[in-house]
Structure 1
């Protein structure tokens, strides 16, 4: 929260100044910004910042640059997209004089370009993470024994779930996930398109499959995509939100792939027969959009193939967007007990519309990095005796 507080203290002053420059009073501007943060997960803290904000003699260009500098100091972050979208929302083109409108528009456009520049600097996974990918062999072999020990949260509704495999994977890659979800009461569907080469030609067939499942069940379908499969899942969710109940991605680069750096880039280019920079621009643009449905992104900071920051969606954009960190390798996420548990619980809670304190129950928190990041022995006493 500390980094969020520093970034938003600067940004809120900038946003309020834009609203004031369009003819609003300071009080009106504060109310406008407060409404924009209505679905922000930190809205209580942000409302306090808004309340204390005052305007000095700084012009919009200076305020913009101050915020950009702070963002650059903290480094790339998908949540910066929330700042850009909020600025575009409060910019009322129809009430501003032409010369002033152009000035504000240019400032906002420059702000967007600077944020995009900052977010293009995500480094590739370190060599240590790449070497750790070898543990995926252990993860896949031990899952045979661990599978029956994973807790199950039974769903009584047999809701439809379409699963999409990773790049160079096929339906065998999602065997454990599908088997586990089926045992938890869901109706699972394979993607049935052979090896996933992340080819745009697969999209029409996937959309046709979505239509078939939707017609069969007469209800929305949940999409689960691992790695490259999550790319397809997100694009489909953006195109057809009326047929998608929720989106769950597992180690998937869901934004910024135009500048994504991966240690296996040469291998991927060899298999594709062309440079990764020569991608489908339309799909890249679609992938940057945020679907208007509940989203959960599962990621691991020890991912050796995909930079983990590319696997997070903007949690600050809406309160139905969650990023959940797990332990494990990228290649082993299809046989990761915590991943299976998280997928099933997320599907269940979003479908049942249950609002628990957290997505993870008490004992299960022990399996997640977030628990171990807490300092001191109190994390155990708070867990079991609070």
Structure 2
């Protein structure tokens, strides 16, 4: 794959099949990983063109595994706006104050970019950031979503509306989950460079499966559990 290129067409076509699993995930029983969490607060941020309903299986599985998993408050995430990030920041600060401990963020795709910006903006309220197939590194055109993003947001994908640079690793534990089978985001963009995260974790999943495939959800829970307690 050439540098700056989106995933090949074959991988992109697989994402359509994965959409069925995403829709069915809301009906599946949660995954339980014993002794993973002990009430630690987590907020899950959905990707573009989706909302908190798309992350319900992951949140229910986190809850069943001992975490206090909360929705982001995003009914439909159409893109990056200052108001959207301000609302998320207030939600994080309120949950930190309520629980008396910093909040872990799990951000799927565009939601992971939000998490990285928030990790720089309010690091004292955040314990850990996990991104799922988020295009935080390299060419911002190395994905199949940038044209839609520009259409919805009225600015170029290269012109972030925030002063923070999501390519810079936040000053908290930061984990990048990526897949060589991602059909939306180029794997190297979601994996990033070694200095852009503390850990790069490979999974075998499409982009649309990263918050629903059992092996991915289990790995997310395990990673959060490593920093819990």
> Is there any run of 5+ residues in structure 2 with no aligned partner, and where?
none
Counterpart pick for 1:261 among 114, 127, 142: 142
State the structure with more CA Rg: 1
* 1:322 corresponds to 2:199: yes
Question: Does the aligned pair in 1 maintain the 2:85–2:114 contact within 8 Å?
Answer: yes
> Is there any run of 5+ residues in structure 1 with no aligned partner, and where?
1-74, 77-120, 353-386
1:185 Cα shift? Answer: 0.7
Counterpart pick for 1:227 among 109, 118, 121: 109
* 1:350 corresponds to 2:227: yes
**Take 2:60 and 2:27, find their aligned partners in 1: how far apart are those partners?**
14
| Structure with the larger RCO, 1 or 2 (CA within 8 Å, 6+ apart) | 2
Q: Cα gap change, 1:206/1:309 in structure 2, threshold over 3 Å: closer, same or farther?
A: same
Q: Cα gap change, 1:128/1:322 in structure 2, threshold over 3 Å: closer, same or farther?
A: same
Aligned partner of 1:20 in structure 2 is none
Normalised to the residue count of structure 1, the TM-score between the two structures is: 0.54
Aligned partner of 1:290 in structure 2 is 169
Structure 2 counterpart SS, 1:162 = strand
Question: Does the aligned pair in 1 maintain the 2:46–2:108 contact within 8 Å?
Answer: yes
1:282 Cα shift? Answer: 2.7
**Take 2:149 and 2:57, find their aligned partners in 1: how far apart are those partners?**
26
Aligned partner of 2:61 in structure 1 is 180
**Take 1:126 and 1:237, find their aligned partners in 2: how far apart are those partners?**
31
* 1:206 corresponds to 2:88: yes
**Take 1:236 and 1:182, find their aligned partners in 2: how far apart are those partners?**
23
Structure 2 counterpart SS, 1:348 = helix
Question: What does residue range 372-383 of structure 1 map to in structure 2 within 5 Å?
Answer: none
Aligned partner of 2:131 in structure 1 is 249
1:227 Cα shift? Answer: 0.5
- Between Structure 1 and Structure 2, the one with more helix by share is 1
**Take 2:166 and 2:220, find their aligned partners in 1: how far apart are those partners?**
21
Normalised to the residue count of structure 2, the TM-score between the two structures is: 0.88
Question: Does the aligned pair in 2 maintain the 1:260–1:307 contact within 8 Å?
Answer: no
Question: What does residue range 130-169 of structure 1 map to in structure 2 within 5 Å?
Answer: 130-140=12-22, 143=25, 147=29, 150=31, 152-155=33-36, 157-169=38-50
Structure 2 counterpart SS, 1:295 = strand
Structure 2 counterpart SS, 1:282 = coil
**Take 1:232 and 1:281, find their aligned partners in 2: how far apart are those partners?**
10
**Take 2:175 and 2:159, find their aligned partners in 1: how far apart are those partners?**
29
Aligned partner of 1:333 in structure 2 is 210
Question: Does the aligned pair in 2 maintain the 1:143–1:337 contact within 8 Å?
Answer: no
**Take 2:76 and 2:25, find their aligned partners in 1: how far apart are those partners?**
23
**Take 1:263 and 1:204, find their aligned partners in 2: how far apart are those partners?**
27
Question: What does residue range 40-119 of structure 1 map to in structure 2 within 5 Å?
Answer: none
- Count of aligned positions: 228
Aligned partner of 1:97 in structure 2 is none
Question: Does the aligned pair in 2 maintain the 1:250–1:333 contact within 8 Å?
Answer: yes
1:342 Cα shift? Answer: 1.0
Structure 2 counterpart SS, 1:233 = helix
Q: CA RMSD in A?
A: 2.5
Question: Does the aligned pair in 2 maintain the 1:305–1:330 contact within 8 Å?
Answer: yes
1:167 Cα shift? Answer: 0.7
**Take 2:46 and 2:143, find their aligned partners in 1: how far apart are those partners?**
19
**Take 1:173 and 1:191, find their aligned partners in 2: how far apart are those partners?**
11
**Take 2:65 and 2:58, find their aligned partners in 1: how far apart are those partners?**
11
